[in-house]
Structure 1
Amino acid sequence: MAADEPMEPFMGMKVRRRSSMYRVFSADYIDVPANPTLVKLLSKQGDKQVLFADNIMKVNRKCKLVRRVLIVTDVAIYILDSTFYRLKHRIPLQNIEKVTLSELSDNFFAISVPSEYDCLMASTRKSEIVTVLVEAVKQLISGTSPENELQVKFSNSFEYYIDAEHIREVHFESAEGGGIKTRFVDK
């Protein structure tokens, strides 16, 4: 790795799949500039640069995985319906408190937003998403103190808010055959 390349914020902190260790990131996997609906949405919101865009799976209130589009720009995260690209949720980057991942090689990550509810998502590109988020928040708040930087936490068990009042806990554990077992518990 060259000296000017950013270090992944979780190197050595979690188990990595062999296929993801040397992956080259391309950032926009859905070709945002070629989609007039997405261009119009982002320009209306005032976003200037798309840092990441891809299809992901979001865990909904009923613990079901739903397909969504995740876009990270220079100022916000967008979660969109994957069919018609309707905006489901917009999270300003400055509102994100932390990103939580397990220490295992699963695809889940949670974005914690204290002023709203948290988002638990799954993506095969979670390493890239977390790296992009850390860098985007750092750029957005440049010049402020290090305690304002985005926190990246690692735990095989963590809580997240599914709405303003309800908490859910997710547990990750290694399963036989090298798989990962994921379990949800409502609090």
Structure 2
Amino acid sequence: MSAVDLVTEEDKDPFKGDYLDVPSKPYLLKLLHRQGDRGVLFADNVYKFTASGKMKKQSLLITHFAIYIIDPEIYALKRRIPLAAIEKLSLSHLTDHFLAVIVPTEYDLLLASTRKTQIVTVLVDSIKTTSNYELEFNLSNSFEYHAAADVVKEIHFEQVEGGTKTRIVNK
């Protein structure tokens, strides 16, 4: 199977959420092929929060089977989360860019993206289609997430004049 075979006509639709133009990046197609995946439902650069609280720009790819976190500078796969491993999504009621992907068998994933709504929609639809279960949501202006196996953090959102104030604290 060639890299071109991994991209279907449906995947070429610019409204499907491929903001990285994955078909033009052979290293991404090769990575997906090695993992047994084909076709991208969503691809964009996002900010991922590390256990120490730093933000790192990463490429987020969502397929029918997994979430991929890729370092865009060295083109290395940093993490692959099977969609079936995701228990729920945590997000606030406010207008912000934060989304926590809760993975009980591993540590969680905290992201910031201007396309948060589209990411949520793609995850919900894909999980419902492939796993036949509805993704659970935690909608709250304060929630916990596991930044690492032994690091629990709490994120707080507050509406302030001109936007949303976000605070992340260790538990």
Inter-partner Cα distance in structure 1 for 2:39 and 2:16: 14
Task: In structure 2, list runs of 5 or more residues that go unmatched.
Answer: 1-13
Counterpart contact for 1:25–1:128, Cα < 8 Å: no
Counterpart contact for 2:16–2:41, Cα < 8 Å: no
Moved over 2 A (4+): none
What TM-score, normalized by structure 2, do the two folds share?
Answer: 0.89
Say yes or no: does 1:128 pair with 2:118: yes
Quick check: which one's strand share is greater?
Answer: 2
Say yes or no: does 1:104 pair with 2:88: no
Aligned residues: 158
Give the Å deviation of 1:59: 1.0
Match for residue 65 of structure 1 among 47, 55, 65: 55
Give the Å deviation of 1:25: 4.4
Letter in 2 for 1:170: I
Letter in 2 for 1:135: D
Letter in 2 for 1:123: S
Match for residue 170 of structure 1 among 149, 152, 155: 155
Inter-partner Cα distance in structure 2 for 1:70 and 1:85: 12
SS in 2 for 1:131: helix
* Percent identity over paired residues: 53
Counterpart contact for 1:69–1:85, Cα < 8 Å: no
Say yes or no: does 1:41 pair with 2:31: yes
Inter-partner Cα distance in structure 2 for 1:66 and 1:175: 26
Inter-partner Cα distance in structure 2 for 1:104 and 1:85: 33
SS in 1 for 2:148: coil
**Which residue pairs with 2:141 in the alignment?**
156
Two-structure CA RMSD over aligned residues (Å): 1.2
Inter-partner Cα distance in structure 1 for 2:107 and 2:48: 13
Letter in 1 for 2:163: G
Give the Å deviation of 1:152: 2.1
Counterpart contact for 2:51–2:151, Cα < 8 Å: no
Letter in 2 for 1:43: H
- Cα deviation, 1:126-161, whole Å, max 9, x if unaligned, reads 00000000001011113xxxxx32112210000000
Counterpart contact for 2:46–2:60, Cα < 8 Å: yes
Give the Å deviation of 1:84: 2.1
Letter in 2 for 1:139: T
Inter-partner Cα distance in structure 2 for 1:180 and 1:76: 30
Task: In structure 1, list runs of 5 or more residues that go unmatched.
Answer: 1-23, 143-147
Match for residue 46 of structure 2 among 45, 51, 56: 56
